[in-house]
Amino acid sequence: LMFLVITIIIFSIFFLVINSLFSDKLTEEINLVASQQLEFASSLLDSSIEEIRSYHFALNRNYTIQNTIQAINRKDHSEEELAALQNTLKKAIDGLSTNSLNIRSVFAISKDGTILDPLYSQDTYQWLTKGSEEFERFLNSQLTLRISSPNSFPFEDSDTDDLHYNSTITCFGKIYDNTSYEDLGYVAVNINRQSLFKDMADVFDGTFSQFYVVDENQNIIFSNLPTPSPSVELSNLLQMEYPPSGESVSIQGTAYMGYSQTVSHYPNWRIIGFIDYDDIYQPIRRIILTTLLVFLLLIVFAATIHYYLAQRITVPIRTLKKAMRSIRKGEWPSPIPVTREDEISEILDSFNKMNLSLQKMTTQIAAQQEEARKNEVALLQSQLDLLESQINPHFIHNTLNTMKYLARIAHAEKLENLIVSFNALLRTSMSTDTLMIPLSEEVENLYHYMEIQKERYDFPIDFQCEISSNALSVLLPKLILQPLVENSLFHGIAPNDGGSIHVKAAVSENRLWVMVWDNGAGIPESKKTLLLERLHAPNRGYSSIGIANVNERLVLSYGASSHLIIESKPESGTSFSFSIPI
C-alpha cells in the first residue's frame, strides 16, 4: 500500500508540474499572439489614418480651394456669386478624390460652421457642424485633423448608439493659407466606417471574443459585435489601460482577459480586445484531460504492480505480522499456509515451527505452575486445619457462653459485650465447613474485633465501614480483612496514641474493590517495599495470618491481578487495597 501511495504522490506531483508548465507557456503564447494582433491592427489603422492625412494635406495644398474659401469669406457676394463660388469649390474638392478611401462626401466649412456645398448647404445637414459636440471638440482640440465618433450623416442626426445605423465617420480638418498659415476654414471628409476597419475582423478572428476601437471619450468607433450595447460596466472597462500580459475582467458575469493598444498615428484611439477565459483554457483543459488520462493509466499500472507485489510479498508478511500480534496477546494462531518455495516461504515455515514449539513449552509450564499452585493451596489449608484443630471449638464456645451469663448476672455489661465479640471471632476462625463468607459477615467480624481492641487501649479509636449495598453479598476468603485492620491499629494508630481506621468496599466493572486505610504513623519508604516479605508471622494479635499471608491468599485464590497494594507516607497514614472478580 505504501508503494502505491508513493507512486500516486509522485504521479500527482508530476501531473501538477506538467499542468503548471503547459498552462504558463500557453498563457505566454496567448499574450504574445494578442499583443502581435493588436499591433498589427494598429498598423492597419495607421495606414488608413495616414491616407486620410495625405488626402487632407492635398486639400490644403490646393490653391483653388484656398482662394475660393478666401473669396467666400469676404461675405460681399450675391446669392448667384456665392453659388458659383461653392460650385467652384466643390469641383476642386471632387477633383482630389482618392480611390483608396471609401469617401462618401467631402465639403468645406466656413469659419462660422456653415457648410459650403451646393448640396449640403441646406438646413437639413447643418447639424453636422452647428451645435455638434464633435465639431466643437475639433475646434477646441487645436488639432489640424480630428476624427469624429460614428454618425448617421447624410441622414438625420439620431441619438442612437447603434453602429449599424451610424455608418459614417467624419474627419474634420483645417484649411489654412500656405503662406501665412492663417485658418481659412475647415473641411469635412465623410468616410464609410466599415471601409476604415474592413480588415480588422479578419485580424482578430479566432482570438478575441470581443474587440473595440474607442476614442478618448470611450465612444465605440468599431466593434466585432453587430450591435454592442453600451453599459456602465463596459464603459468602465473601456476606460482602463491593460498591460501587455492582460488583465482579468468580468463582463456580465463572464470572465475575460483584457488587452489594449493605442493607435500609434492617432493616439486618441485605442484598440481594446477581450478574450473569453473559456477560449483561453480550452486548450489547457485538453492538455489537462490528456495528462489526466495518462495519469490514470499510470495509476492503473501502478495498482497492478502493487497488487502483484502484495500477493507475492506484502500479504504473507502481513499474515505473519498478524500471527505475531496474536502471540503477543496470548493467543495461539493457526499455522500459516506455505504454498511457495522462496525466502518468504522459509520465514513462514520457520515461524510455524517456532509457534508449535512455544505452544508445547507453554502448555508444559502452565501444567507445572498449576501443580505447584495446588500444592501451595494444600499446604496452606493443612496449616489452617492444624491451627483450627489445636483447640476444641465446642469447649471454648461453651466456656465463653458461661462467662457471658456470669457477666450478665454481675451486671458487667462491657465484659459481656467483649465475651460476645470474642466468641463471634472464634466461631468464624474455627469454622471448618466453609472458607468463603459474605462481605457482610466479614465486616461484622471487624466490628467485633475492634470492640475488643477499643476496650484494650486507653486512647481514642475511630473505626468506620462504608460498604455499598451491592457489595454486602459478595463472597471472599474469611478473615481476609482482619489482618489489614490489625496492622493499621498496631503499626499506625497505636504509635500515635489514637486515630481513625476506615474500610470501604464497592462493586465496579464486575469486581469488588476494597480499601483499608488509616491516618496513623505511616511506613518509611525504605521499609514499604520489604513489608510483604518481613511480615510473614506478626508478633501481635490472636491470628498468625499476616499481611504477606493475605497477599498470598488473594493471589492463590484470584490470580496476580488481585494482589495487595500498599501505599504509605510517614506521618500521613497507610492504605491497603485490592480487587477480586465477582
Distance CA 418, CA 581 (A): 35
CB 226 within 8 A of CB 210: no
Instruction: Give me the tens of pLDDT residue by residue for the chain, a chain 582 residues long.
Output: 565 677 677 777 777 776 676 667 777 888 888 888 889 889 989 998 999 999 999 999 999 999 999 988 887 888 888 889 999 999 998 888 666 678 889 999 999 899 999 888 888 888 888 888 899 999 998 889 999 999 888 887 666 667 778 889 999 999 998 888 889 999 999 999 888 888 777 777 778 888 899 998 888 888 888 766 666 777 788 888 888 778 888 888 888 888 999 999 999 999 999 988 887 777 777 777 887 788 788 778 877 877 777 667 777 777 878 888 888 887 878 887 877 777 777 887 888 888 888 888 888 888 888 888 887 776 677 566 655 555 556 556 566 666 666 667 777 677 767 777 776 777 777 666 678 899 999 999 899 888 888 888 888 999 999 999 999 999 999 889 999 999 999 889 989 989 999 999 999 999 999 999 999 988 887 777 677 565 444 443 333 347 888 888 898 889 889 999 999 888 889 999 999 999
Cell of 559: 490470580
* DSSP per-residue string spanning 341-399: -SHHHHHHHHHHHHHHHHHHHHHHHHHHHHHHHHHHHHHHHHHHHHHHHTS-HHHHHHH
Question: 465 - beta bridge partners?
Answer: 503
Domains of the chain as residue ranges with CATH: 2-278 (3.30.450.20), 436-581 (3.30.565.10)
556 φ/ψ angles, rounded to the nearest 5 degrees: -65, -35
216 φ/ψ angles, rounded to the nearest 5 degrees: -70, -15
pTM: 0.48
Q: Exposed, middle or buried by CB within 10 Å (0-12, 13-18, 19+), for 554?
A: buried
Instruction: Calculate ∠ Cα 178-179-183, nearest 5°.
Output: 60
* DSSP per-residue string spanning 520-540: SS---HHHHTTHHHH-SS-SS
Neighbours of 228 (CB within 10 A): 16
The enclosing H or E element of 330 equals: none
